[in-house]
Structure 1
Amino acid sequence: MKLLLKAVRIYDPSSIFHLQQQNILIDNGLITSIGGNDQQADQTIEMEGLCVSPGWVDLYAQVGEPGLEHKEDLESLGEAAAAGGFTDVLCMPNVQPVVQTKGAINFIKAKSAGLPVNLMPTGAVTVDTQGKELTEMIDLQRAGAVAFSDGAKPLQAAEVIVKALQYLQPFDGVLINRPEHTRLTEYGQVHEGIVSTQLGMKGIPALAEEVMVTRDLQLLEYTGGRLHFSLISTAAAVEAIRAAKAKGLHVSCDVASYQVAYTDHTMVPFDTNYKVSPPFRSEADKEAILQGLADGTIDAIVSGHQPQDTESKKLEFDLADFGIINLETAFAVANTTMCDTLPLEQLIDKFTTAPRQILQMPAFGIAEGAPACLTLFHPELKWTPSAAGTRSKSKNSPFLGRELTGKVIGLVNKGQVVLNHSF
């Protein structure tokens, strides 16, 4: 089938057509022509203001299958990812059983084969993500694990970090860790500050993230290797990573697109849809994250997608589970809340080039003869996400019913076309 993207603005710094408005002809999954006129096609997509970029990559999403399919299965995750413009999604290993065997890796790869989205398996660093004994990471890498992490469970033991970094070096693997000192955050509900005191809730101190970032960077300097921090949320963490990069350490980091959408002062008190980990922080932390994105300290923007069923959220705040769904709204939330600080060109880079480099993935540029791995989006289109319209099995989101600016129109990947808009 021939598909014509008509007069779309191209966002791809590697392309000679970067920031130009061009026609793109796709035939059987390959870009066959850019810039031609009056091409014959079986389907034409034309929309004023439509933009296209290489397919977006998400570096952090939780999925329930196997074991917690009622929250999210691989098919619903793929549908939500496609609706959000992601052609590739890194799936955390926190399922039941944990992704720590070649069979578990192959299960995800097999499920992903027929989907328009590539679901990339993350191998657990430690057995059952208990933070103690290392898994057989070399075997997992050979089976197809793209990265290694204990996902939602932060690695606590320094010796585990050291051994994992050393273990991964022979094949230049990347260790992904969520920096949090869990003893300091025990029973915490919201960011520790004036608001937590006013609400009478135990706070989650910024210090819990900062001490682990500092420690892990010292360990990285000692061992070498590649380290990536997930879901950064504090000003001191951003500054520590900035200094580490200036020293030449191989460190990268990401932030959830929703992290600057609210602060502890602007979240709705006791609404469990605002209960995330790490929590919405202070205004100073928000400004530091925006600055870190602008100057390149923060490499990527992720969905931080963590589906929770109704029974896990419709509880008293201190009993409810952490997390929100965000695959479908990740770009819109980032575009709405970061646009004053981050130009669109730089924002798209946080979804495309940077995450591919972190995972050492092949670069899919927009060029004649290249595979069509593309995301279509409109940066100025306003829309309001709804529970009825979401593809995820779970509905835990503070953005349902909130008008957002910037919408994913569809994607082209693996010879498949997924559209969220009628043409």
Structure 2
Amino acid sequence: MKLLFRSVQIVDKRSVHHAQIKDLLIENGTITAIGEKLEAGKAKVFEVEGLHASPGWLDMRTGLRDPGREQDENLSSLKEIAARGGFTGLTLMPNSQPAVDSKGTLTYLLREGQTGPVEFFPTATVTKGAEGKDFTEMIDLHQAGAVAFTDGVNPLHNSDILLKSLQYLRPLDALLINRPEEQYLSLYGQMHEGITSTLLGLKGIPSLAEEMMIIRDLKLLEYALEGTDSADLGGPVLHFAMLSTQKSVALIREAKKKGLPVSCDVAAHQFAYEDDALLGFDTNLKVNPPFRSRADRLALQKGLSDGTIDAVVSDHAPHAPQNKETEFDHAEFGITALETAFSVALMHSGASLDTLITSLTHAPRRILRLPEVSISEGAAANLTFFSPGKKWVFAQSRSLSQNSPFLNQELKGAVNGICNRGELIWF
């Protein structure tokens, strides 16, 4: 397969061609030439006004429903919507049924991710069934291909388990991911605790629930790393998933200044809404962590722009209609987000395009210790093609679930296609 892309603006801070408009020639899955007015020969030519190319996007937080809840999303539909969202790689959370706590389930996901341009990078649970009680065989799971360890949607609330996990994973140079939430403070919570939750009569989830967990985890990390030379560490040791509050951003910023090996991410939709958006009781806006105050949203924007927040994630969480089309306090948390994550972050994060693309490409790969991907001659063609200035209407989701607040909205920033492992999907 020989492909020629004309007049493409390259967005890749690690490429010597960054911010330049070049032709890209791809042959049999390899970038063979980058230049101007390249000869087409027998290549299939693509020429789109305003076309950009970056290393393939990697989502660091994709909700997994297969096996166990394939009616919500199966692996085939997951690949399709990932491609439409511009992602060539997905970091799968382990909360399937059964959970990814054994080599059997892990091998199933790795095998299913071997074909097509969308790769799977499954995580494995820290505890059996992600129940927070007994450890899994983390060494075996690491050697079998788990890219990180996390209980996914379930916070590691047991301090001893979190501490021992940090100590256990450090010799493996493996990453621990935790979603910071003190579950007893957030118990029965439906939305951000504030004026709006009081007006609506809904139990609130206080910012303190997130911030206390971050403070605890940072203290445990310091304790676990006493006497350790940071130069001996291959990358971040502890990753905080889905920050949502102003104080959380400040805590991570301070931890990084102290030299602690931490990283963090934010869900793209957190930039788009504040808690007063729930005045209409739209269950598609029920997410966890919840949409919070304006000050929190602005702090997230600043945190991404100044590098405190490393990655932007989709937090794709598909649910069958009966779990969303019900009373607000009975509805599940989460939205389908892979198809819209880039557009939503581009429109609402306030970050530069370079910063946003880095948060979707180099940062996730650095955090997860995955091989680097860059746009250079001789490199494998792992690419996302997109038009940041193009407007489009999200009229139909290809997900098996439809719980998105962005349906039928006009968005900015369209994905044109992806190329990876010698295959091209073009829209």
- TM-score w.r.t. the length of structure 2 is 0.96
Mapped partners of 1:98, 1:4: distance in 2: 43
Correspondences of 1:184-333 after superposition (within 5 Å): 184-224=185-225, 226-333=237-344
Is structure 2 residue 17 aligned with structure 1 residue 17?
A: yes
Residue in 1 that maps onto 2:387: 378
Mapped partners of 1:287, 1:331: distance in 2: 18
Residue in 2 that maps onto 1:33: 33
Correspondences of 1:18-417 after superposition (within 5 Å): 18-36=18-36, 37-224=38-225, 226-338=237-349, 341-386=350-395, 389-417=396-424
Mapped partners of 1:263, 1:269: distance in 2: 13
Shift of 1:44: 1.4
Unpaired runs of 5+ residues, structure 1, are none
Contact 1:4 1:41 in 2 (8 A): no
Contact 1:56 1:85 in 2 (8 A): yes
Mapped partners of 2:116, 2:204: distance in 1: 41
Shift of 1:384: 1.2
Shift of 1:42: 3.4
Unpaired runs of 5+ residues, structure 2, are 226-235
Q: Is the partner of 2:414 in helix, strand or coil?
A: strand
Contact 1:125 1:149 in 2 (8 A): yes
Shift of 1:132: 1.5
Contact 2:86 2:415 in 1 (8 A): yes
Q: Is the partner of 1:40 in helix, strand or coil?
A: coil
Mapped partners of 1:51, 1:74: distance in 2: 28
Residue in 1 that maps onto 2:2: 2
What amino acid maps onto 1:8 in structure 2?
A: V
Shift of 1:269: 2.4
What amino acid maps onto 1:343 in structure 2?
A: S
Q: Is the partner of 2:277 in helix, strand or coil?
A: coil
Contact 2:200 2:279 in 1 (8 A): no
Mapped partners of 2:172, 2:373: distance in 1: 22
Contact 1:229 1:253 in 2 (8 A): yes
| Deviating more after overlay: 356-365 vs 223-232 | 223-232
Mapped partners of 1:86, 1:41: distance in 2: 28
Shift of 1:39: 2.2
Contact 2:362 2:373 in 1 (8 A): no
| Deviating more after overlay: 225-234 vs 244-253 | 225-234
Shift of 1:268: 4.8
RMSD of Structure 2 on Structure 1 (CA)? 1.0
Mapped partners of 2:42, 2:299: distance in 1: 47
User: Residue deviations 1:20-65, cap 9 Å, x none?
Assistant: 0000000010001100523224321111100000001110010210
What amino acid maps onto 1:140 in structure 2?
A: L
Contact 1:50 1:376 in 2 (8 A): yes
Shift of 1:402: 1.1
User: Residue deviations 1:347-401, cap 9 Å, x none?
Assistant: 1111011111000111111111100000001101001112xx3221110000001
Contact 1:57 1:356 in 2 (8 A): yes
Identity of counterpart residues, as a percentage?
A: 51
Alignment coverage as a number of residue pairs: 416
Mapped partners of 1:42, 1:18: distance in 2: 24
Contact 1:268 1:274 in 2 (8 A): no
- TM-score w.r.t. the length of structure 1 is 0.97
Q: Is the partner of 1:24 in helix, strand or coil?
A: strand
Mapped partners of 1:244, 1:277: distance in 2: 24
Mapped partners of 2:13, 2:286: distance in 1: 37
Contact 2:100 2:124 in 1 (8 A): yes
What amino acid maps onto 2:426 in structure 1?
A: L
User: Residue deviations 1:288-325, cap 9 Å, x none?
Assistant: 10111111000000001000010110100000100001
User: Residue deviations 1:143-178, cap 9 Å, x none?
Assistant: 000111000011101101101001101111000000
Mapped partners of 1:313, 1:348: distance in 2: 32
Shift of 1:253: 0.1
Question: Closer, same or farther in 2 for the Cα pair 1:249/1:139, shift >3 Å?
Answer: same
Contact 2:381 2:421 in 1 (8 A): yes
What amino acid maps onto 1:118 in structure 2?
A: E
What amino acid maps onto 2:27 in structure 1?
A: D
Contact 1:305 1:324 in 2 (8 A): yes
What amino acid maps onto 2:321 in structure 1?
A: T
User: Residue deviations 1:213-252, cap 9 Å, x none?
Assistant: 0100110111037000111101111100100000000000
Mapped partners of 2:279, 2:202: distance in 1: 14
